[in-house]
Structure 1
Amino acid sequence: MSERIKNNRQAIKPRWLDLYTLESAKRKGLDRPKQFLEVPEDSLKIPLDIEFSNIKQKTLTEVIASRRSLREYRDTFLTFEELSYLLWETCRVDSFRENAVFRTIPTAGATNSMETYVYVNKVEKLKAGIYLYLQDTHQLALIKREKNLEDIVNDSLLKQLRNAQAVFFFTTIPARTEYKYDFCAHKMIAIESGHACQNLSLAAEVIDAGVCAICAYDQEKVDKVLNIDGEEHFTMYCATVGKKK
C-alpha cells in the first residue's frame, strides 16, 4: 500500500479524542465565519417558487426504488417550478435557532460549510448562466453569463454535461466547519455534500428526472467557472440533472 493511500485513509478517520486535546477556533473565542455568502446589492436575484401545485408527489418508497444514476437526458426543458422544487428539497434553510441554522440536510454541529451553485442550461423562464442558491431566502443570484458557457462548463466536467438541463455544484467553505472541529472537519465536510446530492437525487425522481453525481471533474476549471478562489472556497461535488427519456 502506498504512503499516499495510507495518508488519505487516515484523513477520513474522525480522531475525536485528539480533537479534545487542542483548542479549536471556537474554543479560543475567535469570531465565527459568516453562515451565508453575500452577493453585491445590485446582483440579479430571482425569487423561487415555494408552492408546487403542478408536481405530482410520490412516496419515499417509490423514489428510492426508482433512483438510478442517469447520464443521458431527454432534449427538453425543466420548468421553473421544477428547478425551484429541486433546490427547495435539496438544501433549503428550514429554521433558525439562536446562532444555529438548520437545513434539509445534516451538517456537523450546524456549521453549514456547503454552498450550492447551479448552471442553468435549459430551464423555462431563466436565461442560461451560473447562479448561486441563496439558501436563507430561497432565491437564485446571478453569478455570470458569458459566451460559450455551455462549452466551458462541459469542458470543466470532462465532457460529461450530456444535454443536462442543469448542473448542481456543491461547494465548501471549510473554515465554517474547521472553526468548531479543526482537523476533524474534513470528513464531515465531504459527507455533507453527499447528503445534499442524495436529496437532489430523490427529489429528481419526483419530477421524472434523473441525476448523475460527478466526482471526476477538473477542480481548477470548475472553481473558475463558479468564480470561487479554489482555496478558502472550492467545489466538492457536482451533479447533472435532466428529464428522463
Structure 2
Amino acid sequence: MPTPPPSTPWDFALDRVPPGEDLIGIGADLDVATLFEAYTVGVFPMGIGDQGAEPIGWWSPDPRGILRPRELRVSRSLRKVVARFEVRVDSDFRGVVEACAAPDRDGRWITPEIVDAYVQLHEAGWAHSVETWLDGELVGGLYGVAIGGLFAGESMFHHERDASKVALVGLRDLLITDGDPRRLVDVQWQTPHLATLGVREVPRDEYLAILPTVLSAPLPACWA
C-alpha cells in the first residue's frame, strides 16, 4: 500500500469557485504532495500557456465527466479485437506518458515538466498505466492517478487501431475484479467520443459529494 504524502501548503478553495467555472486557480507546484491532495479534493493540473506551457492552471470542471466501470460500453467489434493485444499494467509508465505527450498530437498539453511530475507520482505509488502491446511493442495505453476507488484518467494514446480502447477495457477489468461498486473513473471532460463509451456528465457539486465515498474504497489489488 503506497504511503500518503504529507499535506501540501496550497489551498485549492473550491468553495470560492462559482458554478460553471472550470479553472479554479493558477500557480502552486507539481510536487507529489500537491498532486495527491489536488486529486483528493477534485482538482487536477494543466498548464494554461501554449500547448500546456506554464503557468500551471488548476482545474475542476463543472460539469464533470465520469464513468462507472461497469457502465463502459464495449461494442461487439471491440470485443473481437481485445484478444489481439496483450494488456500490461505499469510495465512502461514513462513510455505511456511520453507517447501521450508526442509533439505531433493535436491538442497536446503534456509538457516535460508534467511528464517528470507524474513519473515521480508513479514512483510514489499513486500514478499508473494500463498498456496494450502487440508483437512485443507498446502500441497503446492510458495513464492516471489511483487513490482509493478513484482512477483519475489523464490521457491515452494509440499507434494501432482500438489499442487505447482495449487499454480502457483492461482498466475496467481491474476496477471491477472484486465487485466494489464505489469505484469511479474520472475523465475530466466528456467528449462525444467518450459519451459513446458510457461517460456521462454530472455537476461539480455532485462529483464532490460522491468523491469521499469513492476515495474510501480500497485500491485495486494490483496497486495496493
Short-chain TM bin = under 0.3
TM-score, normalization by structure 2: 0.27
TM-score, normalization by structure 1: 0.26
